[in-house]
Amino acid sequence: MDNRQFKLGECKMTDTRLRRIGMIVPSSNTNAEPDCLMLAPRGVTVHTTRSGGYDVESIPGSEEMRRFARQSLDQQLQLLVDGRVELIAYACTSATLADGPEFDQAFCDKIAAKTGLPAVTTAGALVEAIHDIGVKKVAFTSPYVPRLATEAVDFIEQCGIGVVNQVGFERELSSLEQNALTPQDAYRMGVKADHPEAEVLVISCTDYRAVEAIPALEQALQKPVVTSNSALMYVCLKRLGVGMDEIKAGGFLFTVRN
């Protein structure tokens, strides 16, 4: 759609809703959408659908994430195609992190083949964002169970990025408990995870309110901070060729290419 003006009497209104991102989120996730809306510049709208089939009270481990990534998304994809989105974003980091970079790429390729649209996973976006910043060593924190956190670190390291420190929560958290974490939790764990050799702090999990902690963490640590949701939106906007100058909430990542 072109920039068009509609004249109603003396009032002129400009159509500024020009680009549409389609997003799939786990059914209990209520943080990916507000995070991504914070990071959406004028003219970009985010349209979501949900994928469920899991016990929100259970603790999500590696096997649960692998099963979740392999269930059919045909209905969700068709709903987004019906909404005339330009790109599909899969907003569950751990679902493809658990299986490694090759699975993650095949997952994207499958979505693209089904929809005819480019696809971005959060796991792949994290790695792409780190590469775009131009660093080789990161610190990592997440609310994942230990095995899943180890698999996440392995994923990142297989992509040529060293993880010099990894910190998680002392007890295992259910999906709803991860959802209830606050930006203060993200800040505290980010500071704890930082390491002198780390050039970037990575905070993984789309249902974790970490975007709100980015400005304070970057000020405290004096280094870039990349979260699952900031990376996902960054790569989506990059794919669409949308300028990021006006985005303040995402920190250094959104200025690195501008």
Least confident among 70-74, 222-226, 228-232: 70-74
pLDDT at 27: 93
Q: Are 138 and 198 in contact (CB under 8 A)?
A: yes
What residues does 140 pair with on adjacent strands? 166, 202
**Strand runs (DSSP E) across 34-113, as ranges?**
44-51, 87-90
Hey, what domains does the chain have and what are their CATH numbers? 5-254 (3.40.50.12500)
Q: Are 87 and 63 in contact (CB under 8 A)?
A: no
Instruction: Give mean pLDDT, residues 188-208.
Output: 98
pLDDT at 199 over 90: yes
pLDDT at 163 over 60: yes
Taking Cα atoms as reference points, which of 170, 171, 174, 130 lies closest to residue 153? Answer: 130
pLDDT at 14: 52
Distance CA 221, CA 187 (A): 11
Taking Cα atoms as reference points, which of 71, 66, 111 lies closest to residue 90? Answer: 111
Q: Which tokens sit at 147?
A: 């095995």
Share of the chain above pLDDT 70, in %: 93
| Residue-level length of the chain | 258
pLDDT at 160: 98
Q: In this structure, what is the dihedral angle of CA atoms 132, 68, 77, 85, given to the nearest 10 degrees?
A: -30
Q: Are 168 and 194 in contact (CB under 8 A)?
A: no
Give the burial string for 163-190 (b: 16+ CB within 10 Å, else e).
Answer: bbbbbbbeeebbbeebbebebebbbebb
Distance CA 118, CA 15 (A): 25
Confidence of residue 180 (pLDDT cuts 50, 70, 90): very high
Per residue in 82-119, pLDDT (tens digit) is 999 999 999 999 999 889 999 999 999 999 999 999 99
pLDDT at 214 over 50: yes
Listed in sequence order, the residues at least 6 apart from 12 whose beta carbon sits closer than 8 Å to its beta carbon are 5, 6
Coil, strand or helix at 54: coil
Q: Are 254 and 247 in contact (CB under 8 A)?
A: yes
Confidence of residue 17 (pLDDT cuts 50, 70, 90): low
- Write phi, then psi, for 72 (nearest 5 degrees): -65, 135
* Residue 29: other Cβ atoms inside 10 A: 22
Listed in sequence order, the residues at least 6 apart from 8 whose beta carbon sits closer than 8 Å to its beta carbon are none
Residue 62 identity (one-letter amino acid): S
Taking Cα atoms as reference points, which of 80, 41, 27 lies closest to residue 236? Answer: 41
